[in-house]
């Protein structure tokens, strides 16, 4: 099983090198870089520069805010620079951000993302063979790439393309066209994976005629852990507000519905509708939290994660310890998490 973590979205460029080195030294296989308040490619460049084995993956670049050609240039150069340690995650974001924050058009997001991925692959092929590009898709057309503007081949394979999403259509799309899929935190419970995500990925792969088993699957379950029971309890209380906010959004309440917690979902949504943000956390009791996310001490956690995810996914995202004094114990734990059997490809 791969173990992945995320660089804090708040990390300034001056902090990236130290953060990335710490993550690599602890034994993580990959680090995710989000696009929130900083340019993700600049962050990835620094993370790659200061590591030697760590895979650096955008999770996720806001696709519709930039041309596929612009994204392709950045991804290609990072793959060249890192010797193939860079992986490209792209996603749609939501209409409000695309239109209101980026001033870009929004039409059919699933169809557009499909064409975005197809455009990237066409451009990568043109870069690899040093020739022109000829792509005519539903949303993008690329017919001009003179030799002067072609960066030429790299010594590694083109960057793998990952996508993410919540609804069935985005999961099916990933099954059809992506090399990997990052499940949303509210879709990372094994019950949701088995009921919705995995069947949709398999359906998309089958309809596309894939014979490689479809995309790799990484889950982001917002795990609660600590050195002892007191630390776990403190981490649970700290995360409770974030989980309550996430699950107050109707689109993210599938897990609550599967567990028969519609009353919890309704209360969360009502508090959010009334902007009663301070009341959200009170709705998620310890019992509810224990149903939603795995938790345990560093000693217990590998067994807990194995009981949830053995054979279900290919990678698990874990947060680094808040206290660097825990790094040695956490690193030892990661070795046991890596031993958890990953998903068996349907191929």
Confidence of residue 344 (pLDDT cuts 50, 70, 90): confident
pLDDT at position 251 is 86
Angle at the Cα of 278 from the Cα atoms of 276 and 283, rounded to 5 degrees? 90
Place of tokens 């600049």: 42
Nearest alpha-carbon partner for 167 in 147, 184, 191, 149: 184
pLDDT at position 223 is 97
**205-221 mean pLDDT:** 96
* Structural domains in the chain plus CATH codes: 2-236+296-338 (3.20.20.30)
d(CA 193, CA 346): 15
pLDDT at position 347 over 50: no
**253-259 mean pLDDT:** 92
Average pLDDT of the chain is: 96
For 39, which DSSP code? -
pLDDT at position 346 over 90: no
Could you tell me the pTM of the whole model? 0.95
pLDDT at position 320 over 90: yes
The strand pair at 141-142 and 135-136 is best described as antiparallel
In this structure, are residues 254 and 196 in contact, taking their beta carbons and an 8 Å threshold? Answer: yes
Percent of the chain with pLDDT over 90: 95
pLDDT at position 217 over 80: yes
What element of type H or E holds 165? strand 161-165
**79-96 mean pLDDT:** 96
pLDDT at position 180 is 98
d(CA 309, CA 294): 10
Percent of the chain with pLDDT over 70: 99
């Amino acid at each position: 099983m791969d173990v992945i973590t995320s660089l804090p979205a708040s990390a300034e460029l001056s902090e990236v090198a130290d953060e990335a080195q710490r993550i690599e030294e602890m034994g993580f296989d990959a680090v995710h870089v989000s696009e929130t308040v900083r340019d993700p490619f600049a962050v990835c460049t620094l993370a790659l520069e200061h590591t030697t084995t760590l895979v650096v993956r955008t999770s996720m670049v806001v696709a519709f805010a930039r041309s596929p050609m612009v994204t392709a240039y950045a991804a290609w150069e990072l793959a060249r620079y890192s010797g193939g340690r860079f992986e490209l995650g792209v996603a749609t974001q939501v209409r409000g951000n695309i239109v209101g924050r980026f001033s870009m058009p929004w039409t059919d997001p699933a169809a557009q993302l499909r064409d975005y991925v197809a455009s990237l692959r066409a451009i990568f092929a043109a870069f690899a063979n040093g020739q022109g590009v000829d792509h005519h898709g539903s949303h993008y057309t690329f017919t001009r790439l003179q030799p002067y503007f072609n960066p030429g081949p790299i010594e590694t394979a083109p960057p793998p393309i990952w996508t993410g999403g919540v609804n069935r259509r985005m999961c099916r799309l990933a099954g059809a066209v992506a090399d990997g899929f990052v499940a949303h935190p509210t879709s990372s419970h094994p019950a949701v994976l088995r009921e919705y995500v995995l069947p949709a990925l398999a359906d998309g792969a089958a309809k596309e005629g894939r014979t490689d088993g479809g995309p790799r699957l990484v889950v982001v379950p917002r795990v609660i852990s600590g050195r002892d029971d007191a630390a776990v309890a403190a981490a649970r209380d700290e995360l409770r507000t974030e989980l309550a906010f996430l699950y107050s959004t109707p689109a993210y309440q599938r897990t609550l519905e599967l567990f028969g917690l519609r009353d919890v979902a309704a209360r969360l949504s009502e508090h959010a509708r009334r902007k009663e943000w301070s009341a959200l956390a009170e709705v998620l009791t310890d019992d509810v939290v224990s149903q939603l996310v795995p938790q345990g001490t560093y000693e217990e956690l590998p067994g807990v994660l194995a009981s949830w995810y053995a054979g279900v996914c290919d990678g698990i995202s874990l947060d680094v310890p808040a206290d660097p004094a825990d790094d040695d114990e956490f690193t030892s734990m990661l070795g046991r998490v890596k031993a958890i059997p990953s998903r068996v490809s349907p191929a």
